[in-house]
Each structure stands twice: as C-alpha cells, then as structure tokens.
Amino acid sequence: MSFTGLALGCGNFGGIGSSPEFFGQGIAEATAFAIMDRAWSAGLRWFDTADAYGGGRSETFIGCWRADRQPDGLVLTTKVFHSTRGEAGDTGLAPDRIRRQLEGSLERLGVDRIDLYLAHEPDPETPLADTVATFEQLRAEGLIGAWGLSNYDATGICEALAGGQPALLQNSFSLLDRADERDVLPLCAERGIAYVPYGPLSGGWLTGKYRRGEAFPAGSRMTQRPGPYERLVDDGVYDGLERLAELADERDVEMTTLAFAWVLSHPGVSGAVCGPGRPEHLEPVLVAPSLDLSYDDHQLIGGLFP
C-alpha cells in the first residue's frame, strides 16, 4: 500500500493529543463526526489517530463514525506508546504491551486490521529490534498492513531498518520546524520510506491567528499546551509571518494554504497530516495540493524565517 497525500489528523478528538490532563476535552464527538464527514466528502480517505489520543476517545469516535457511515475504502493509521489511561508506568513498545494495545485499538476502531501501525516515539527501555520484530510478526499475522515510526531521528530509523522496512515516517515538519531536512528526509528518500509529517501549520502559527503584540486567542494551542511553540514568540518569526501573509494575498489564498502547499511541494515529502478543529478549517487545506509552487517560490517562502 502506498501512503501519500493528505491524511485527516484526529489527534484532538476527545482530548488534546496524548496528554492525560486533557482527556475528555478537545473536540467533542458531534464536531468530530462533522469533521470526518467533511473530510470524506472532500475525498480524504486516510484518517490518522493514536490509541492514547483523548485516552482512547479518538479511536472510539472514528469507530462509531465508521459503524454509522459504513465508508468504503477508509485507510487507518494508529500509533502505540502512550497510556490510554494516563498512567505514568503504562507506556512503551515492549512486545507484549504492543499486542495488548493493538487489541484495544482494533476494538475501539471496529476493525480486524490496522492499515498502518506506528511506534509513536522511541522507547529507551525496549530494544528497537524487539519492537520491529513484533511489528513484522503482526504484519505476517495480518493484524496490520504495514508499520512505521513517528518522532524518530536518523539514528533510530537506521536502527529500525536493520530489522525490517518501515513504510512511513511521521515527524513534525513545517516552515517553522525544518530539522529533518539535514539527514532524515534524505535518508527516507534513499531507503524508500514515505515521509508524511504532522504539524505542517506549527500548532496554528502559520494560519495567521497569532499576531505581534496581541493576546493569544482563547482556546488556541498557545493557551492550552504552549510548551512546544514558546520558542516561536520572536520578532523574527513575526516578521516572517507578516511576509507570508503578503505572499498569500498576492496569490489570493489564505496563509494556511500557502504554508501547507510549501510542505507538500518539498522534495521528499509524500503527504501531510491536517488536524482541523472545525469542519471549515479544512477548506484552505484542501486547496493546497492544487497550488503550484515553482522552485523559486519554494525557496522564497522557505527563506522567510530565521
């Protein structure tokens, strides 16, 4: 199976990512259904989640939506590492834990096979060879179609490659987060690993919602879980955002569209995960694949930020 194009990110269904303090919050089920309906009607056939998103609620919402809508051809990605119960010791990629967590995912999603199963992050307590061997065995048993990695660096990818072939890598990548350009993207291209990042809008920073000298909007990522993005509160970043807005206006598109299109047009990128908070947030993303950026456009936009 080839994993390319746009995937609907369901990380905020029933919570905010895997953070236990937000389990039961985030996007409510009715809104999640509306988002999935809009994504499906727009042609998105790939939904991305994780067992611990919302403490299992994200998978449950998707499973209920599947049961009600009976979509034909839906591709599902889920991930394993974090606790679905918020227990500090209930984490990791030990073989027996992977099997236990997979059983829960299959039940919540209402399927007998996961199309793509990802290690959500490295587990320093478990040899990666043991994790990869477990993934390969699950694939042989038909319980997963393929496996991959999320939040792994080049060293971790090479270690995984010693035991099998990951189908996909899902790391953070955007105009404001380009560390993978140095060695990860070239490695994925060389070894035939699809690179489909999350966070192409950097927690909303590339949508234009955060403005110099203004308070962060209520309910935004910067008021809920700002830690990963605090480094962006910088005049150089605001300068780049203002210029990005001008370039978007020149093309008669939203900043969201231009930032997303830059990621999709990047050499070595196979697709991207979009995580809308409401159905209408999908609209500028859906335009991005058709926005034609030349090499010069890509270089100009990529040079906006320090």
In this predicted structure, the answer to whether residue 297 has a pLDDT above a threshold of 90 is: yes
Q: Where are the beta strands (DSSP E) in 87-223?
A: 114-119, 144-150, 168-170, 194-195
The residue written with tokens 């209520």 in the block is 218
What per-residue string of b and e applies to 151-185 under the rule 16 or more CB within 10 Å gives b? bbbeebbebbeebeebbbbbbbbbbbbeebeeebb
pLDDT band, very low/low/confident/very high, at 192 (cuts 50, 70, 90): very high
**17-39 exposure pattern, b = at least 16 Cβ within 10 A, e = fewer:** bbbbebbeebbeeebbbebbebb
- β partners of residue 194: 168
Give the separation between CA 23 and CA 12, rounded to whole angstroms. Answer: 10
Question: What is the pLDDT confidence band of residue 221, given thresholds at 50, 70 and 90?
Answer: confident
Bridge partners of 114?
A: 144
Compute the distance between CA of residue 82 and CA of residue 220 in angstroms, rounded to an integer: 23
Q: Are 53 and 14 in contact (CB under 8 A)?
A: yes
Q: Which pLDDT does position 219 carry in this prediction?
A: 80
Cα separations in angstroms, 305 against 42, 231, 240: 32, 13, 5
Helix axes 57-69, 29-41, angle to 10 degrees: 50
Candidate list 53, 117, 195, 198, residue with the active-site label: 53
C-alpha 11/C-alpha 27 separation (Å) is 9
Contact yes or no for 144/117 (Cβ under 8 A): yes
From the CB of residue 132, how many other CB atoms can be counted at a distance below 10 Å? Answer: 22
Backbone phi, psi, residue 24, to 5°: 90, -5
Share of the chain above pLDDT 70, in %: 100
Residue ranges of domains in the chain: 1-170, 201-267+276-306
Q: Where are the beta strands (DSSP E) in 91-160?
A: 114-119, 144-150
Calculate Rg over the CA atoms of the chain: 19
Whether 53 is a known active-site residue: answer yes
1-47 residue pLDDT tens: 779 999 999 999 999 999 999 999 999 999 999 999 999 999 999 99
Mean pLDDT over 263-284 rounds to 97
Average pLDDT along the chain: 96
CATH superfamily of 1-170: NADP-dependent oxidoreductase domain (3.20.20.100)
pLDDT for residue 228: 85
pLDDT of 238 > 80? The answer is yes
pTM more than 0.75:
yes
- Mean of the pLDDT values across residues 203-212? 94
